[in-house]
Amino acid sequence: MRTVRIVLALVIALSIAAAAVAQEKPKGKGKAARLSPTAQAMLRIDRLREALEGLDLTAEQKEKVGKIREELRPKMKEVFGKLRDILTEEQRNAAEESMKKAKEAGKKGREFLETVESSLKLTDEQKEKMAKLAPEILAVQKEMMKQVMRVLTPEQQAKIKEKMQPGGKKERKSREKKATT
């Protein structure tokens, strides 16, 4: 009898959770759904940069990370040039204005990219072209991550991995706190 109650409770809980998730998706509340693959790739690069800034690197480590960035800069410049070429002059101007306003408003990371991306008003063709560039951006980010990890201590590597997780440490703590209340 007790087992039946437990199973019944689980079924009810899963049904409620599934209904809640189904209701949220059409409203577009999932932040990951709002960013294009290209913006998501750029967000990972931004997270890596912020994670590195948060570490207590030695002078030698800073020098090595700087060399890695310099080495990969031409690849990033090439990819961002391709992104820029997809946009019209009007869209580039809108993006620049949007970036300026977002910075002034103190927006960073996902929020910053959402603001800029929404200002572009991309055509379906442009979205498709940009989505094809996402793997190139991710490849550069992964290469940078791989090289940077070789420079870091095991403790620093653990911190980087934690900070690179979607949502970051602050957002996970916020969700855990809400779950317990």
Q: What's the pLDDT score for residue 49?
A: 84
Residue 67 lies in a domain: yes
Is residue 68 included in any domain, yes or no?
Answer: yes
**Can you point out the beta strands (E) in 4-100?**
none
Q: Which amino acid is at 16?
A: I
Examine the domain organization and report whether 149 and 102 are in the same domain: yes
120 and 148 share one domain: yes
Asked if 138 and 44 count as a contact pair (C-beta separation under 8 A), the reply is yes
Same domain (yes/no): 23, 54: no
Parent domain of 1: 1-28
Predicted pLDDT of residue 175: 45
Position 175 in a domain: no
CA–CA separation, 159 and 181 (whole Å): 27
pLDDT of residue 80: 85
pLDDT value of position 173: 52
pLDDT at position 46, please? 82
Alpha-carbon distance of 127 to 148, in angstroms, equals 31
One domain, residues 18 and 81: no
Q: Looking at the structure, do residues 52 and 23 belong to the same domain, yes or no?
A: no
State whether 20 and 41 are in the same domain. Answer: no
Indicate whether 179 belongs to any domain.
Answer: no
Check residue 2 and give its pLDDT: 38
In contact, 34 and 114? CB cutoff 8 Å:
yes
Q: Give the model's pLDDT for residue 61.
A: 93
Domain count, the chain: 2
Series of mean pLDDT values for 10-residue runs along the chain (181 residues): 34 29 37 68 83 89 93 91 90 89 88 86 90 87 91 92 70 49 52
CA distances from 105 to 91, 112, 121 (A): 21, 9, 21
**Are 24 and 46 in a shared domain?**
no
CA–CA gap between residue 41 and residue 162 (Å, rounded): 17
**Alpha helices (runs of H) in 87-108, residue ranges in sequence order:** 89-104
